[in-house]
Structure 1
Amino acid sequence: MLTVEDINVYYGAIHAIKGISLDVPDGEIVALIGSNGAGKSTTLRTISGLMKPKTGKILYEGHDIAGVPAHKIVGMGLCQVPEGRHVFANMTVLENLELGAYLRKDKDGIAKDMDDVFKKFPRLLERKDQLSGTLSGGEQQMLAMGRALMSRPKLLLLDEPSMGLAPLLVKEIFNIIKEINESGTTVLLVEQNANMALSIADKAYVLETGRITLSGTAKELASSEAVRKAYLGG
């Protein structure tokens, strides 16, 4: 579904992404793990059109989308849930979800997807008229994911969904990511919590200082000594 070929990305003079290539097969969960500052978020921002690679290709369903504006990429079925959630704090939960569907015109489909989001995240239904800025961190993460689902994505990019959440909530969020995938959405997951990421992923890549240093099935990486020492606490 997505193939990134040898992309190089710069912040001014800083060479942030150094020739990385990766594949996200249709229907799978692919995890991108690595420590803080490794370039994981930059990779996602480049795929979703918020940054432009200096060189390389980003092929989504066979089309090179490198340099395509972000809103057009969303319209093609590729949507990102940003790190830090970024809900619209002064708008209600319902208004945030409606914004997720801003490119769509199919009222019946939007209503059905709204029901689906409320089934996945019952807490959002309870708080639908509440201002999003008053939600807890976990509820805001659910809202950010629900808002992305309202665009009906074929490929969902998730940037650090567990960040700042209590362990019980992390488990809940990861169960929902699995559920989203099982209902037909392909997922590219960026996550510092390598244990959780590898427990639900099909395949994974390790990113270190802008380069991919390891790749394989999630099982292979979970049992790799180098990965265990660096990311899995021994």
Structure 2
Amino acid sequence: MLKVENLSVNYGSIRALKNISFNVEKGEIITLIGSNGAGKTTTLHSISNLIKKQSGTITFNGEDITNLAADKIVTRNLIQVPEGRRIFLNLSVKENLELGAFLRNDKEQIARDQEMVFEYFPRLKERIRQSAGTLSGGELQMLAMGRALMAQPQLLLLDEPSMGLAPIFVDEIFNIVQKINQAGTTILLVEQNAFKALSIANRGYILETGEITKSGNAQDLISDPAVKSAYLGG
């Protein structure tokens, strides 16, 4: 479904990504894990074409999207939930969800998809008329994910969904990520909580200072002594 080949990104003299290559197959949860500054968010921004790439090729569903404008990439149902959520705080929960469907005109299906979002995130239905600025951190993350689902993603890019959340919300978010995947959405997950990410993923890639240093089956990575030592607190 997604193929990234020899991707390099520079920030001035800093080489943020160094010829990385990886793939995501339809139906998978793939996770990129690594410390701060490893290049995880840069990778997602490169796929969504939010930043300039020095070299490399990105293919989605057989189409070369390397230089496709970010607003055109969205029309391919490749949708990103950014780090920090980027919710419109002055708008209501309902209005934020409606913005997720701004490219669509199938009103009946939009209404059904909104109800699907409320099934995943009942709190949002309780707060449908509230300003998004009144929501908790966990609820804002739910709204960011719900807004993305309104765009009917084939591939959902999730950037640090558990960042800053209380443990009860972290468990809930990861459970919902699994449910979204089981319902047919492929997921590329960037996450600092390496154990949680690997525990729900099919495969994982380890990023260190802009390079993929290890990859494999998620359960194998959980058992790998080097991964345990560096990322799993043991």
Instruction: Answer whether TM exceeds 0.5 for this pair.
Output: yes
Task: Determine helix, strand or coil for the equivalent of 1:114.
Answer: helix
Tell whether 2:47 aligns with 1:47: yes
Off by >2 Å, runs of 4+ in structure 1 = none
Q: How many residues align?
A: 234
Unpaired runs of at least 5, structure 1: none
**Letter paired with 2:179:** E
Which position in structure 2 is the counterpart of 1:107?
Answer: 107
For the residues of structure 1 that align with 2:129 and 2:12, how far apart are their CA atoms?
42
Tell whether 2:14 aligns with 1:14: yes
**Letter paired with 1:226:** A
For the residues of structure 2 that align with 1:144 and 1:53, how far apart are their CA atoms?
26
Task: Determine helix, strand or coil for the equivalent of 1:142.
Answer: helix
Tell whether 2:93 aligns with 1:72: no
Q: State whether residues 52 and 66 of structure 1, in contact with CA within 8 Å, keep that contact through their aligned partners in structure 2.
A: no
Shift of 1:13: 2.6
Tell whether 2:4 aligns with 1:4: yes
For the residues of structure 2 that align with 1:131 and 1:171, how far apart are their CA atoms?
25
**Letter paired with 1:54:** Q
Which position in structure 2 is the counterpart of 1:137?
Answer: 137
For the residues of structure 1 that align with 2:53 and 2:183, how far apart are their CA atoms?
32
Which position in structure 2 is the counterpart of 1:200?
Answer: 200
For the residues of structure 2 that align with 1:188 and 1:73, how far apart are their CA atoms?
15
For the residues of structure 2 that align with 1:221 and 1:80, how far apart are their CA atoms?
25
Shift of 1:206: 0.2
Please give the root-mean-square deviation of Cα atoms over the aligned residues, in Å.
0.6
Tell whether 2:124 aligns with 1:119: no
Task: Determine helix, strand or coil for the equivalent of 1:35.
Answer: coil
**Letter paired with 2:39:** G
Tell whether 2:180 aligns with 1:180: yes
Q: Which moved more, 1:205-214 or 1:66-75?
A: 66-75
Q: State whether residues 5 and 21 of structure 1, in contact with CA within 8 Å, keep that contact through their aligned partners in structure 2.
A: yes
For the residues of structure 2 that align with 1:174 and 1:101, how far apart are their CA atoms?
24
**Letter paired with 2:31:** A
For the residues of structure 2 that align with 1:175 and 1:109, how far apart are their CA atoms?
25
For the residues of structure 1 that align with 2:75 and 2:52, how far apart are their CA atoms?
18
For the residues of structure 2 that align with 1:53 and 1:24, how far apart are their CA atoms?
20
Q: State whether residues 93 and 127 of structure 1, in contact with CA within 8 Å, keep that contact through their aligned partners in structure 2.
A: yes
Q: Which moved more, 1:8-17 or 1:116-125?
A: 8-17
**Letter paired with 1:203:** R
Unpaired runs of at least 5, structure 2: none
Shift of 1:134: 1.1
Shift of 1:52: 2.8
Shift of 1:108: 1.0
For the residues of structure 1 that align with 2:168 and 2:63, how far apart are their CA atoms?
40
For the residues of structure 2 that align with 1:190 and 1:221, how far apart are their CA atoms?
15
Q: Which moved more, 1:11-20 or 1:108-117?
A: 11-20
**Letter paired with 1:162:** S
For the residues of structure 2 that align with 1:68 and 1:126, how far apart are their CA atoms?
38
